[in-house]
Amino acid sequence: AGIKPGDILTRIDGTAIDTPNRLSRVVAGLLPGSTAQVEIFRDQQRLVLDVALIERRDHAVITSLPQARTEVKFGFDVQDLTPGLAEKFKLRESRGVLISKVEPGSLAQSEGLHEGDLIKEVNRIEIGSVGEFSSAVSKVRRGETVLLRVLRESRAFYVVLKSTEP
């Protein structure tokens, strides 16, 4: 499709994409087999791509996870990805940090993060454990933003969150 990790989607068929929820709604309204005009921002340049759409075939079922609390700084809790959890969520990954709980009413929830999402990067630095995640977010001060690369159902997307706790 020409879309690469790190690209920022700004419009699809002329509709502004300003939240993950809007992206989901716009994509849900597109027909498989058609082509969409996607405007992206890559390497400080605006690009317009024609993207062929295919039907989505995989569907994950998200259930409750055992709680493993870490410092809540962005409205969610995380835990290390284990082989059992990777199998449960049909993840092909062996490294990353799994979101085990999203706080109701939090920015994380409003930005579309869910239990079972796998965090792969924090501010473009690859992470593989809760320790690495904690180390990366410990450098973020209150009011600063953090860029997360997240995997859901083997599809990657980026989320920007603002730290709300000290």
Confidence of residue 148 (pLDDT cuts 50, 70, 90): very high
Which stretch of DSSP H or E encloses residue 98?
strand 97-102
What does the pLDDT average to over 56-64? 43
Computed over every residue of the chain, the mean pLDDT equals: 80
Which CATH number does the domain 76-162 belong to among 3.90.1300.10, 3.20.20.70, 2.30.42.10, 3.40.50.12660? 2.30.42.10
Q: Which of 41-45, 46-50, 62-66, 96-100 has the lowest mean pLDDT?
A: 62-66
In the chain, residues under CATH classification 2.30.42.10 are: 8-52, 76-162
Cα 140 from Cα 29, distance rounded (Å)? 37
Identify the burial level of 116 via C-beta atoms within 10 angstroms of its C-beta, where 0-12 means exposed, 13-18 middle and 19 or more buried.
Answer: buried
The whole-number average pLDDT for the span 115-142 is 88
Predicted TM-score (pTM) of the model is 0.58
- Give the residue-averaged pLDDT of 118-122: 93
DSSP state of 88: H
**What is the homologous superfamily of the domain 8-52 according to CATH?**
PDZ domain (2.30.42.10)
